[in-house]
């Protein structure tokens, strides 16, 4: 096994430019530049995102190195997000990482963004023990992942249409909230009654999810309510948010419970941007008691897109000498568990 390395990590998969340094398995910092311009358009505009990454990446990397006290010539490798994500955004991070690795003559480590979300649980203790099941929930993905080892993961269930994060944001848009609307629903839900309204829960066979129907159900519910009372949404906003959040969270939990019983696993983790949701975190803690689970929830800063998780993933890939060559290219549709065609062990 290789020595414990010092690695600079870069994350640029969507609308956050981030850099972090990991030294001997400990993440020293997590610098994030958030792009606020997308709020004006109700969602991420790919071209604007890639331009912002170009502006942010040099100062973000510089800040990460300076605050870590690590000089660039002390780095053993450069890790970066290869995918999945927006092609233009990924290109910025990939190109910068390749250039830096080439100039420093150090290995290049391509990281799967979704794999890194799972490995965020190994940044700060306590850590889950293998095997465990991780519910990975974000704006673009909803997956149940069987984690057998640091770099051995299997998707055992996933959404067939919208991700749960998309469902939150689309419903938030119907309610008139700015992007990203999921956290706004969460904030309002705290003040409401989760049992005030009942929405249909899609239940498909196996461990897969489907969230496309709930947006339509909420849309018709709001239409009917406004027809009777023009101020229906305003008068019931907190209860609507609480009821929507409760429904989505219960849909997630139903399949999670089935998965733990099917695979006889009591170690359960959550990851991804939606893992910051208050209802999801509190609900999981309650389930831990009724189901006998040991639950692991990452700190808020490691739930959303960040380079710290890329750094810790890079750390474990370095120990296994899983490096990429300079011909590696971004993979916007990179799938968890798929072999990296540009990977080579050294």
Summarised one tens digit per residue, pLDDT across range 254-288 is: 999 999 999 999 999 999 989 989 999 999 999 99
Q: Tell me if the bond preceding 126 is cis, omega within 30° of 0.
A: yes
C-alpha to C-alpha distances, 186 to 1, 189, 229, 267, 303, nearest whole angstrom: 44, 5, 25, 26, 15
pLDDT in tens, 232-248: 999 999 999 999 999 99
Mean of all residue pLDDT scores within the chain: 92
Q: Residue with structure tokens 């071209």?
A: 47
Q: In sequence order, what are the residues at sequence separation of 6 or more whose Cβ sits closer than 8 angstroms to the Cβ of residue 108?
A: 77, 78, 80, 97, 98, 101, 323, 324, 325, 326, 328
pLDDT of residue 339: 52
Instruction: Out of 99-108, 289-298, 332-341, pick the least confident.
Output: 332-341
Q: In sequence order, what are the residues at sequence separation of 6 or more whose Cβ sits closer than 8 angstroms to the Cβ of residue 332?
A: 83, 84, 85, 86, 87, 90
pLDDT in tens, 32-84: 987 777 676 667 787 888 998 899 999 999 999 999 999 999 999 999 999 99
The correct CATH number of 126-297 out of 1.10.3210.10, 3.30.930.10, 3.40.50.300, 3.30.420.40 is: 3.30.420.40
Specify the 3-state DSSP secondary structure of 141. Answer: coil
Tokens, residue 248? 């989505």
Range(s) of the chain covered by CATH 3.30.420.40: 6-119+303-345, 126-297
pTM for the structure as a whole:
0.92
pLDDT at 161 > cutoff 60: yes
- Higher-pLDDT residue of 169 and 138 is 169
Q: How many CB atoms lie within 10 A of CB 338?
A: 11
CA pair distance 342, 329, nearest whole angstrom: 8
Q: Residue with structure tokens 């709001």?
A: 222
3-state secondary structure 303-329: CCCCHHHHHHHHHHHHHCCEEECCCCC
pLDDT at 338 > cutoff 90: no
Indicate the DSSP class of residue 111. E
Instruction: Assess if CATH 3.30.420.40 describes domain 6-119+303-345.
Output: yes
pLDDT at 345 > cutoff 50: no
């Amino acid at each position: 096994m290789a020595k414990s390395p010092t690695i600079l990590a870069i994350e640029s998969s969507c609308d956050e430019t981030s850099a972090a340094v990991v030294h001997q398995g400990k993440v020293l910092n997590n610098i994030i530049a958030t792009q606020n311009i997308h709020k004006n358009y109700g969602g991420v505009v790919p071209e604007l995102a890639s331009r912002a990454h170009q502006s942010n990446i040099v100062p973000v990397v510089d800040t990460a190195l300076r605050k870590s006290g690590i000089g660039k010539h002390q780095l053993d490798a450069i890790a970066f997000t290869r995918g999945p994500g927006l092609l233009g955004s990924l290109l910025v991070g990939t190109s910068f990482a390749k250039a830096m690795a080439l100039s420093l003559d150090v290995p290049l480590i391509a990281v799967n963004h979704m794999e890194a979300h799972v490995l965020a649980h190994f940044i700060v203790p306590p850590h889950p023990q293998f095997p465990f099941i991780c519910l990975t929930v974000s704006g673009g993905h909803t997956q149940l992942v069987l984690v057998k080892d640091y770099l051995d993961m299997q998707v055992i269930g996933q959404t067939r249409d919208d991700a749960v994060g998309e469902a939150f944001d689309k419903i938030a848009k119907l309610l008139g909230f700015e992007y990203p609307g999921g956290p706004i629903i969460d904030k309002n839900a705290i003040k409401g009654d989760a049992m005030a309204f009942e929405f249909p829960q899609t239940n498909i066979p196996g461990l897969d999810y489907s969230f496309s129907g709930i947006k339509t159900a909420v849309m018709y519910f709001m239409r009917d309510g406004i027809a009777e009372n023009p101020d229906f949404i305003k008068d019931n906003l907190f209860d609507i948010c609480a009821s929507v959040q409760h429904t989505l969270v219960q849909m997630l939990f139903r399949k999670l419970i089935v998965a733990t019983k099917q695979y006889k696993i009591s170690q359960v983790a959550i990851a991804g941007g939606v893992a910051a949701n208050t209802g999801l975190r509190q609900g999981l803690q309650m389930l831990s008691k009724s189901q006998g689970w040991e639950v692991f929830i990452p700190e808020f800063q490691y739930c959303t897109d960040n380079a710290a998780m890329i750094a810790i993933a890079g750390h474990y890939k370095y120990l296994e000498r899983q490096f990429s060559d300079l011909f590696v290219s971004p993979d916007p549709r990179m799938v968890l568990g798929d072999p990296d065609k540009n990977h080579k062990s050294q």
